[in-house]
Amino acid sequence: MAYPTEWKGSYYDGQSPVPQHVTISVTAVGLRLHFPDHTHTTWNYHELRQTQGRYSGEEVRFERGTGIGETLVIPGPNILLAIHEHGGSETKHFHHPRTRRTRMYWTVLAALASIPIVYGIFIWGIPLLAQPITAAIPISWEIQLGQFVQQEVTAGKQVCQNPKLIHAVESILTALTNSINRLPYQFQVTVVDSPVVNAMAAPGGYILVFRGLLQDTASPEEFAGVLAHEIQHVLLRHTMHLIVRHVSMAFVIAALSGDASGMVAYALQAAQTLQTLSYSRDAEDQADEQGFQLLQQSKINPEGMITFFAKLGKEQPGNAVFRYLSTHPETQDRLAHLKSLLPPVSTTYRAFPFESEWSDITTYCK
Ligand SMILES: [Zn+2]
């Protein structure tokens, strides 16, 4: 059967994400590309890699060069038949199957090559682009990562399941989340049975509170202050941003493409990042400010946030137990700023009428 020698395709020069529409002639030695400005060039078969188009329905991709080089995309796999018919012995390598892993990598990379962000990663690196990369990550992917991070952080530890404790924690969480419009996450709080004074937000709305911190809060309002602050780290995507900044290229590519396979390996990296690194000072200020607003719109007295952070600041910074202090130092600026946000007139706030005293509830765990 004679297959046509003229095909239409899109050419990417490896610099710009904008394709050029080209006509492709299949010749004995290579593919001749005809550009809209009437120039042409020949890609010899021996210098091409086929990175996609081994299955029916897939578009065919050829690449030339290293990294994100020049790419040629042809819709449908039939051009391969033409190449084998007209191209001779130089075209045999287009049939060699690659390992699935390599193929997945190049397929995802090639699919993403049309997104300017991915060019940017190669040119400027991940840290500078962490913001737009974070914004492009699908929420569903973030939620799945969060589940794994939560499992990673709680692995080998007891989680508090006392019904009175859970009821109290959930009442406060619900009071906060009910006042948020169009909540993108189903927030969950897990209390870890550990004397460490710490709390952290995993991606996707999974908040982890260590019992030591809970016991350090003097009232539901103080605990609500910490939760409001952590909720804002998630909603403002500080958590994802911190992880993106400090993880590998493979993680970022998987995150952008929504590919969830191998998520467990990323979760380990992500959990380590969250437990060892701090947010920027700007991110902390934002979480304070917007957490404070969240308390107000939830009719929870925001003074609890101020008193808790002030109390935390009186602990010894070097003490390993007070881990939350190392990531959330009480500075005079921080407290002064929070105090300046207090409303000038007295306001009525909600009460949390629990069956037991707060100081007792926080000691319950089993
Ligand atoms: Zn924070």
User: How far apart are alpha carbons 69 and 49 in whole angstroms?
Assistant: 11
Residue 307 lies in a domain: yes
Single out the residue of 158, 235, 159, 245 nearest to residue 201, CA to CA. 235
Are 92 and 147 found together in one domain? Answer: no
Residues 306, 194 within the same domain:
yes
User: How remote is the CA of residue 50 from the centroid of ligand 1, in Å?
Assistant: 47
Alpha-carbon gap, residue 23 to 8, rounded angstroms: 5
Domain presence at residue 301:
yes
Cα(287) to ligand 1 centroid in Å equals 6
Same domain, 281 and 238: yes
Average pLDDT over residues 156-183: 95
| Averaged pLDDT for residues 176-183 | 93
Reading phi first (left if > 0) and then psi (alpha if -120 to 50, else beta), residue 258 is in left
What confidence tier does 226 reach under pLDDT thresholds 50, 70, 90? Answer: very high
| pLDDT greater at residue 117 or residue 178 | 178
171 vs 206: CA distance, rounded Å: 16
More confident residue, 267 or 69: 267
Query: pLDDT over 70 for what percent of the chain?
Result: 86
Residue-level pLDDT at 2: 81
Instruction: Give 353 or 106, the one with higher predicted confidence.
Output: 353
Residue 48 is part of a domain; what is its CATH number?
Answer: 2.30.29.30
- Which protein residues have a CB closer than 5 Å to ligand 1 (ion)? 284, 287
The CA 59 to ligand 1 mean position distance, Å, reads 46
pLDDT at 66 over 80: no
**Same domain, yes or no: 177 and 296:** yes
Residue 77 pLDDT grade (very low, low, confident, very high; cuts 50, 70, 90): confident
Range 126-132, long-range pairs (CB < 8 A, 24+ positions): 126/244, 126/245, 126/247, 126/249, 126/252, 127/245, 130/241, 130/244, 130/245, 131/241
Q: Are 220 and 305 in contact (CB under 8 A)?
A: no
Q: How confident is the model at residue 292 (pLDDT cuts 50, 70, 90)?
A: very high
Within this chain, do residues 234 and 188 fall inside the same structural domain, yes or no? yes
- Residues 290, 206 within the same domain: yes
Averaged pLDDT, 339-347: 90
If asked whether residues 287 and 341 sit together in one domain, one would say yes
> 200: CA distance to ligand 1 center in Å?
8
Instruction: Kindly tell me if the per-residue pLDDT of 103 is higher than 90.
Output: no
**Between 39 and 18, the higher pLDDT residue:** 39
In a domain, 119, yes or no: no
Residue 295 falls inside a structural domain: yes
Q: How many domains does the chain have?
A: 2
Assess whether pLDDT exceeds 90 at residue 39: yes
> Which whole number is the average pLDDT over 171-181?
96
C-alpha separations of 161 from 146, 209, 361, 364 in Å: 20, 13, 12, 9
- pLDDT band at residue 207 using 50, 70 and 90 as cut-offs: very high
Distance 355 CA to ligand 1 centre (A): 31
Strands across the sheet with 206-210, in order?
188-192, 206-210, 199-202
Tell me, yes or no, whether 105 lies in a domain: no
Residues 31 and 157 in one domain: no
9 pLDDT tier (thresholds 50, 70, 90): very high
- CA–CA separation, 225 and 291 (whole Å): 7
152-177: average pLDDT: 95
pTM, 2 dp:
0.68
Give CA angle at 292 (290, 293), nearest 5°: 65
Domain that holds residue 163: 129-361
| pLDDT for the residue 110 | 66
pLDDT tens sequence across 105-143:
666 666 666 566 666 666 666 777 788 888 888 898 999
Is residue 106 situated within a structural domain?
no
